[in-house]
Amino acid sequence: MKQQQPSGAVDMSNSYDDNEIVNNSSNAHMSDIMSLRLNRRQALMGAVSATTTMLLGTASLSACGGGDDPAPAAAQAAAPATAKLALGFTAVAKNKNDVVTVPDGYQVSILHALGDPLHYGDESWKDNGSESADSYNRRIGDGHDGMYFFGLAEDGKFQADRSDRGLLAVNHEYVVQPYGLHPAGITAGAIRLASEVEKEIYAHGVSVCEVKRGTGNDMSMVRGSRYNRRVTSATEMAFTGPVKGNAVVKTKFSTDGQKTRGTNNNCANGYTPWGTYITCEENWLNVVARAAGDNAKRSAKEVAALNRYGLPENRKSPYLWDTAGTDDLFVRWTSSVTEATAADDYRNIANTFGWVVEIDPFSPTTTPAKRSALGRFNHEGAWPALAVAGQPIVMYMGDDARNEYIYKFVSKAVWDTKDVNGGMAAGAKYLDEGLLYVAKFSADGSGQWLELTFGKNGLDASNATFAFADQADVVTHCRIAADILGATKMDRPEWGGVNPLNGEAYMTLTNNSNRVATTATPTGNQLKPDAANPRYYEDMKGTTSQKGNPNGHIIRWREAAGSVAATSFAWDIYLFAAQSDAAADVNLSGLTAVNDFSSADGLYFDPRGMLWIQTDDGAYTDVTNCMMLAAVPGKVGDGGAATAAGGTATVKGANATADTLRRFLVGPKDCEITGIAVTPDGKTLFFNVQHPGEGGTLAASTSQWPDSQTASASTKRPRSATVVVTRKDGGAVGV
């Protein structure tokens, strides 16, 4: 999502920008460090377990298409030696049409869109905003984002290799456009209408629905399935891990800090090897306010923490949910001291968001858990490393704001395949105890994971910057801990993923307008380029100049010594996004008309090892709508040294070619393409279109999608939706 700016009631002076910079630390930039030394490459991580084989399904395994290394042992055993993964479709041309454009031989259908009823008893979407607030507890929410497909067996359990029937969990990040949800858009004014806010609270969160193939590989939602479920910004959830019961999360709702209500602004996602869904809380500042004069009622430490997380005093939230009345449903959106103690008000509500939340889609009555050991920040998502029996469970995570960090969680418990289908108990086993790390990228292509543990690395009560009281304090304020340790500030970490064929991890760095020239004197929150965020250049959008790193890049790393728990790694930049006609030191990956793109956001390795890249762009949108590309990546170290626009040295991967990267689809007008899942057999692909027509208004809509997909003269409202893509000949997608 680019920005949260509903019109009407919103006080724009306080509107929240999802790209907002709140990192004021003075960590060294890598331009200040060393010249490149490429001879320190570490060995390819080789271990892929039997568990991985199980998760992938034997039919889907194939050798990595991008390098000379042999495939990992498990893959070799299961795949014919000749089964190279190869792209096999005609690239879709860039365009600005109000439809999803897929390659010849492919077809699309809409699985579900904003407002569709999950159960019987509620009316279908009326296209006039008349649906009741309460009905959104049973309808598909707004702002479709991250998602995951879980194969569903006849006994109601997770079956990793099942493709024809499953549970699809989808994030509903935010209320995209006021004209979608309400009869006439948001009612203007500084005070919100309770009925509208209530509807918005229930339209956020997560949906789980059963999906099934009918004829062919197309999928439909099973309306009325007992698995269909909504989790919203009002759903009760448990705190687990270090903050459970800690003073930092005590509220009027939970005076002992054991629980809270709601998950918010669920952007990207994750999944676990035991079969649960992970949803992550990104731009929760959209809905959390803080009153004027609140600093005087707080300790200096609390004020520093709130400021570092982007919540200074006298900050209204863009959605103004706290203004809708005196009911607890609304009052709780102000993180302000209003009563005698934290057990009497919601001064700590900000500390209840920014977490990783685990949901068991197979057990609709279980309480979701905020897994606090994985830290609190603008959580884009959480992506597991390959699950290796006897090794820890590892999650990679990014903090999506300019100049924020990449994190890694390593569980204390080691993976036992008997925990598949272990539900929330398995989640507690693997995600409540472990070590949290933050990444430091060095200019020589090596990197380190810096440990964020109370009592280590100066993270204790004697720290001069922030007196950490305990591990709850560290995970709640891990941005501050990461500042202190000197982690590397990145160009907005968005999605990550792990290559199932070799264990290497990837993460998109979508863009950063606050990079300045190496010769400039940075002011405020500006940064000079560094090796891991190396480009500084000017990009023209029509006649508008955009400076910094407007197109973004994708970084990747390989853990040292083949261990997911390693504390060092080797990295390179897999891909630089650029227009194909850009200068050579901007278009460093050699993109052409069949694969040029800007601002990667979503990223997903499907079970076969095909990589999918999705864009949420504002730089190339004068030429094309946002898009999705398919890739067959190589591996860390398959390229070499390069000098980026602006003069900074870096390490890049092999150039892209039409054989390794190709545009698979283009979305409708004013949308973001985000969220993707592919069935284990590779034959059904799901992706999400978020905020079509976001540039318009209710009166003058710029998109009528999804109706426009089949009705060119549509006058219907645009809606976020999940799209199903299949091949007309019944084959696997992408190949």
Closer CB to ligand FEO, residue 137 or residue 533? 533
Q: Contacting Ca ion (CB under 5 A), which of 322, 601, 606, 670?
A: 601
Closest distance of CB 380 from ligand FEO, Å? 5
Distance of closest approach, residue 264 Cβ to ligand FEO, in angstroms: 12
Number of residues that bind Ca ion (CB under 5 A): 4
The distance between the two most distant Cα atoms of the chain, rounded to a whole number of Å, is 70
- Residue 161 contact, options Ca ion, ligand FEO, none, Cβ 5-8 Å cut-off depending on partner type: none
**Which region, judged by CB under 5 A, interacts with Ca ion, from 197-205, 328-336, 409-417, 612-620?**
612-620
Nearest approach, Cβ of residue 553 and ligand FEO (Å): 15
Which of Ca ion, ligand FEO, none sits in contact with 173, Cβ below 5 to 8 A by type? ligand FEO
List, in sequence order, every beta strand (DSSP E) within 318-463: 356-359, 369-371, 379-384, 392-399, 402-404, 406-414, 434-441, 446-451
Nearer to ligand FEO, 166 or 496 (CB): 496
Residue 404 contact partner, candidates Ca ion, ligand FEO, none, CB within 5 to 8 A by sort of partner: none
* Minimum separation from the CB atom of position 577 to Ca ion (A): 13
Return the number of the residue (265 or 660) whose C-beta is nearest ligand FEO: 265
Residue in the structure block whose two tokens are 């918010």: 264
By the rule CB under 5 A, 404 interacts with Ca ion: no
Residue 617 binds which one of ligand FEO, Ca ion, none, with CB within 5 to 8 A depending on kind?
A: none
Token pair of 356 as six digits: 């990783």
- If contact means CB under 5 to 8 A according to the sort of partner, which of Ca ion, ligand FEO, none does residue 282 touch? ligand FEO
CB 569 within 8 A of CB 635: no
- Closest CB to ligand FEO among residues 266, 411: 266
Binding piece for Ca ion, criterion CB under 5 A, among 528-536, 597-605, 638-646, 657-665: 597-605
Q: State the DSSP H helix or E strand holding residue 208, giving kind and residue range, or none if neither.
A: strand 205-213
Closer to ligand FEO by Cβ: residue 399 or 504: 399
- The runs of H, that is alpha helices, within 260-418 are 300-308, 328-331
Residue 483 binding: pick among Ca ion, ligand FEO, none (C-beta 5-8 Å cut-off by kind): none
Whole-angstrom distance, CA of residue 593 vs CA of residue 247:
55
CA 577 to chain centre: 18
Min dist. Cβ of residue 674 to ligand FEO (A): 7
Residues whose CB is less than 8 angstroms from the CB of residue 168 and which lie 6 or more positions away in sequence, other chains included? 111, 147, 148, 149, 150, 208, 209, 210, 211, 221, 677, 686, 722
Site for Ca ion in 214-273 (CB under 5 A): 267
Provide the minimum distance between the beta carbon of 4 and ligand FEO in the complex, in angstroms, as a whole number: 9
CA distances from 227 to 137, 143, 211, 222 (A): 14, 21, 10, 9
* Whether the Cβ atoms of residue 125 and residue 721 lie closer than 8 Å to each other: no
By beta-carbon proximity to ligand FEO, the closer residue of 377 and 576 is 377
Which one, 358 or 601, has the nearer CB to Ca ion?
Answer: 601
Nearer to ligand FEO, 323 or 722 (CB): 722
**φ/ψ (deg, to 5) at 708:** -65, -10
Q: Which does 491 bind (CB under 5 to 8 A by kind): ligand FEO, Ca ion, none?
A: none
> Out of Ca ion, ligand FEO, none, which partner does residue 694 contact, by CB within 5 to 8 A per kind?
none
Give whichever of 250 and 489 is closer to ligand FEO, judged by the CB atom. Answer: 489
- What is the nearest approach in angstroms of Ca ion to the Cβ of residue 586? 20
Q: Is the peptide bond before 242 cis (omega within 30 degrees of 0)?
A: no
Distance CA 489, CA 510 (A): 13
- Rank residues 243 and 267 by Cβ distance to ligand FEO and give the closer one: 267
Q: What residue 140 binds from Ca ion, ligand FEO, none (CB within 5 to 8 A, per partner kind)?
A: none
Cβ-based nearer residue to Ca ion, 473 or 616: 616
Taking the least distance from each CB to ligand FEO, the nearer of 173 and 483 is 173
What DSSP line would sit under 558-606, residue for residue?
EEGGG-TT-SEEEEEEEEE-B-TTS-TTTSTT---TTT-B--EEEEEE-
Tell the smallest beta-carbon distance from residue 511 to ligand FEO (Å): 11
Quick note: the x/- pattern for Ca ion over 544-583, rule CB under 5 A, is ----------------------------------------
Minimum CB separation from ligand FEO for residue 174, in Å?
Answer: 8
Smallest separation, CB 277 to ligand FEO (Å): 17
Which tokens hold the place of 358? 């685990």
Q: Which residues contact 218 (CB under 8 A, 6 or more apart)?
A: 107, 109, 684, 724, 726
Distances (CA, A) of 149 to 69, 158, 163, 217, 273: 30, 10, 9, 14, 13
The least distance separating ligand FEO from the CB of residue 400, rounded to whole angstroms, comes to: 4
Hey, which residues between 441 and 500 contact Ca ion (CB under 5 A)? Answer: 494
- Closest to 310 measured CA to CA, from 328, 287, 337: 287
Nearer to Ca ion, 49 or 207 (CB): 207
Least distance CB 492 / ligand FEO (angstroms): 7
Which residue sits closest to ligand FEO, CB atoms considered? 267
The dihedral formed by the CA atoms of 713, 718, 722 and 723, expressed in degrees to the nearest 10:
20
Please give the full DSSP string across 66-79, using - where no structure is assigned.
S-SSPPPHHHHHHS
> Which parts of this chain interact with ligand FEO (CB under 6 A)?
1, 173, 267, 282, 380, 400, 494
- Beta strands 611-615 and 627-631 are antiparallel
Q: First vs last Cα of the chain: how many Å apart?
A: 29
Near Ca ion by CB under 5 A, which window of 105-113, 210-218, 611-619, 651-659?
611-619
Smaller CB separation from Ca ion, 85 or 267? 267
Q: For Ca ion, which stretch binds (CB under 5 A), given 8-16, 235-243, 366-374, 614-622?
A: 614-622
Of 42, 37, 65, nearest in space to 651 by CA:
37
Strand ranges, E, within 103-204: 106-113, 144-151, 165-172
Contact 350, 377 (CB under 8 A): no
- Contacts (CB under 5 A) with Ca ion, residues 265-294: 267
Q: How far is the CB of 516 from Ca ion (least distance, A)?
A: 22
Cα–Cα distance measured from residue 268 to residue 270, given in angstroms and rounded to the nearest whole number = 7
CB of 485 to ligand FEO, least distance (A): 23
Q: Is 616 in the site for Ca ion (CB under 5 A)?
A: yes
Reduced to 3 states (helix: H, G, I; strand: E, B; else coil), residue 531 is coil
Looking at the Cβ atoms of 366 and 615, the one nearer to Ca ion is: 615
Name 138's Cβ contacts closer than 8 Å, sequence gap at least 6.
117, 118, 119, 121, 122, 230
Given a contact cutoff of 8 angstroms between Cβ atoms, the answer to whether 403 and 139 are in contact is: no
Q: How far is the CB of 697 from Ca ion (least distance, A)?
A: 22
Kindly list the residues in this chain that would bind Ca ion in the complex (CB under 5 A): 267, 494, 601, 616
